[in-house]
Amino acid sequence: MSGNRELLSDTLARTASEDRAALIAYLPGGFPTVEGGIAAVKAAVAGGADVIEVGLPHSDPVLDGPVIQTADDIALRGGVRIADILRTVREAYEATGAPILVMTYWNPVDRYGVERFTAELAEAGGAGCILPDLPVQESALWREHAEKHSLATVFVVAPSSKDERLATITAAGSGFVYAASLMGVTGTRESVGEQAQELVRRTRAAGELPVCVGIGVSTREHARQVAGFADGVIVGSAFVKRMLDAPDEAAGLEAVRALAGELAEGVRGRGV
């Protein structure tokens, strides 16, 4: 079975044709449980998310801030495995029809086996992978298998990325480019600033891929601000925090749906 890279591209093309940014929600797989994580993805899509990133919990998450690390710890203590992440992708895709990516560090994929992981992710209906710590110059093996299974390869760029590197990444990647709005780890911030806008401008100038911005987006106003210059708005920690703060799982799911609704209004209100 082929992966859903084309669905991801079509979704981003559709949101662009609607003159708005896509809302991309990040949720850790296996949090608070495997079933709860699947329900959270469904809630985010029901609220208005266009694309989902399912995080593969990792014991050394270099890009993730304290909120996502807390969720990852809960998932890992619950015994989450790659098979559970693939189940999350499959069940969430079958229920929602939304493009679903896995965001993972390279080590778990390398240990699992690149051919096995890409084949199983495609079979589950996955759209691709975001690999924040895989250097583009070391990505040939991954890209070969991702291409074979029609999976997108999303690379992460940062404000420190030189123009030459941006050109290399936009040529090697597919789906979209993940622009990290700030140097540092994920988490909510008071504002998502000019650095992000300049990074989007430079990345667009370097290639053809849509550019989606993450790290620091947590409110409707943030989403509106970022949607004014990016093709997609990525939100993770704010969803996870709502779930962590909820008194029970049902309240957490409702909080995810409600936040997705607020953010969806934000991405539709760009330029207003």
Exactly one of 53, 72, 120, 231 is catalytic; name it.
53
Query: Is 35 considered catalytic here?
Result: no
DSSP assignment letter at 137: G
Given 50, 64, 72, 120, the catalytic residue: 64
- Known catalytic membership, residue 60: no
| H/E run at residue 108 | helix 106-112
Q: 38 with 81: CB under 8 angstroms?
A: no
Rounded CA separation 64/74 (Å): 14
CA–CA separation, 110 vs 240, rounded Å? 27
Put the strands of the sheet holding 232-235 in their side by side order: 152-154, 128-130, 100-103, 51-55, 22-28, 232-235, 211-214, 177-180, 156-157
Q: Which residues make Cβ contacts (< 8 Å) with residue 34, sequence separation at least 6? A: 78, 80, 84, 87, 88
| Interatomic CA distance for residues 160 and 146, integer angstroms | 27
Active site amino acids: 53, 64
